[in-house]
Structure 1
């Protein structure tokens, strides 16, 4: 249940749907098995799997948990090419002529359609946390593009959805570079980790370092040469450790031992569904506090002007 990554989005406007109404809206967009000719499909699935009895939404104290199932057939281009080459060779041998480019394109489409039902299906579940009190959505995905797919599904489910990526008053790359180069600038409750990515302003590429002393002379020399921190491992008073990215994505999340122990000692009666909901609410409450604090480190959240919301996802 514990999220590994987090992309944050600010909700704009009011959403009056209660839990029952929202679950009813989710059902028509529920995940279905891929049809024989379907290359991919995205739909809502039960966060607790079979243990949840098909329940598509969990809402606890204003925090909502949804899960999307992304299914995709994997048909390697090399397999299609091999079959295409064989068919082209057969035609040319039997008819004594060269197969045209247009014919090859048509053959390739036919082969893809024939092989697609037999292609291996890869499934991926993506969890979404919706803090209804803070009007905040967090998606547990490694890439921004995957998040946009989930938001598109939510938009289709709700009929409309106005969200923008959360941004800060101080650019993360500027703040991270300052924290890295000046220990006195670091907030008292910040713990520096052991991982960093440094970008050069020119074309000198990117330097990545893991398990290093970030206060070392080598790191400081790189900063003095003009490099900036585009990723930085940080901790919040032992509650949460993460790698902050320059687009405000939070990666490699690790929750503090005290929170994990609290979840482990919760009285759930060995009920797997109760365990999931306990883990979720503890995680969600912790994230709400830690995100607020992280944004304070970055000078607060940047307010979107009305014009900036036009065409927002």
Structure 2
């Protein structure tokens, strides 16, 4: 279901129901951008029920839609340049900074209604039972767009950044140096090591055996692991990064065999797979936090 995971913490358990969450999100329902807007964001129903919070077995699924108008600055500048030349011919002198800005704003307003639009959707999984909030975003910055809306919508939203005793970079470096993965995990064949020196020299291994002696030599020369491909419980493969982001989530055959291929109803199949995925991924997150020395809790 999710290809990436930006991970955050909620109180465990978080005593909020999907019925209580729904009205907070409704004012932020998605509406397509107007003719003079470059971008619009809002929540849409993840399934056909029309509810903005899709709840299955006390697990919540949200979907944020973002629509952007494609209006390259090069096009705006080109048209503005033509308009400025026409204005110079009319008034006998080139437009100043203020006139040029007004021309540019006018050109933008004229071109916006004709601009093409693109839509993107971002999944958000809330686990109020185990205290997780996961955004399917490749970067923390993309996840921040989601969090800003949630903080605005939900009064006193008790979300925290996930912090662990060991930094992922230090832990991954130790795993490679010792040639020993943490309990429940295996190290795969992709990694990235970067120098801590000024040059930031980087070595990447892709589908390449990670020989222990080679890894130790790289680490002793001053490099630290910034990305590492791992598999958890022979069910889920992923890449862990130094900022505790998870990328390239892949469900393995053992996991897929536990899905519900015989269910004919699409909604029932979706809910079954969602329940299976969230149940296993919550276990993965707990195991990962343990492997990183546990969670640093916010001071009271």
**TM-score for both structures, normalised by structure 1:** 0.90
Instruction: Spell out the pairing of 1:124-139 with structure 2 (5 A cutoff).
Output: 124-139=120-135
Residue 189 of structure 1, CA deviation: 2.6
Change (3 A) 1:33 1:219: same
Residue 188 of structure 1, CA deviation: 4.2
Q: Secondary structure at the match of 2:4?
A: coil
For 1:12 and 1:98, the matched residues in 2 are separated by 61
Change (3 A) 1:221 1:13: closer
**Of residues 196, 199, 203 in structure 2, which corresponds to 1:201?**
196
Q: In structure 2, what is the equivalent of residue 9 of structure 1? A: 8
Residue 202 of structure 1, CA deviation: 1.2
Note the alpha carbon deviations across 1:254-293, whole angstroms, 9 max, x for none: 122122122243x432x22222211111110010111111
Instruction: Spell out the pairing of 1:102-251 with structure 2 (5 A cutoff).
Output: 102-183=98-179, 185-205=180-200, 206-215=202-211, 217-251=213-247
Residue 32 of structure 1, CA deviation: 1.2
For 2:36 and 2:135, the matched residues in 1 are separated by 29
Q: In structure 1, what is the equivalent of residue 292 of structure 2? A: 298
Q: Does residue 82 of structure 2 align to residue 79 of structure 1? A: no
Residue 77 of structure 1, CA deviation: 0.6
Q: In structure 2, what is the equivalent of residue 61 of structure 1? A: 57
Change (3 A) 1:135 1:190: closer
Of 90-99 and 275-284, more deviation after overlay is shown by 90-99
How many positions carry a matched residue from both structures?
299
**Of residues 87, 93, 96 in structure 2, which corresponds to 1:97?**
93
For 1:194 and 1:281, the matched residues in 2 are separated by 30
Residue 14 of structure 1, CA deviation: 7.8
Note the alpha carbon deviations across 1:222-281, whole angstroms, 9 max, x for none: 21201000111111131111110111111111122122122243x432x22222211111
For 2:156 and 2:212, the matched residues in 1 are separated by 50
For 1:6 and 1:127, the matched residues in 2 are separated by 10
Q: In structure 1, what is the equivalent of residue 30 of structure 2? A: 31
Instruction: Tell me, yes or no, if the aligned pair for 2:12 and 2:129 is still in contact at 8 Å.
Output: no
Q: Secondary structure at the match of 1:3?
A: coil
Provide structure 2 residue ranges, at least 5 long, that are not aligned to the other structure: none
**TM-score for both structures, normalised by structure 2:** 0.94
**Of residues 284, 287, 306 in structure 1, which corresponds to 2:281?**
287
Residue 12 of structure 1, CA deviation: 4.5
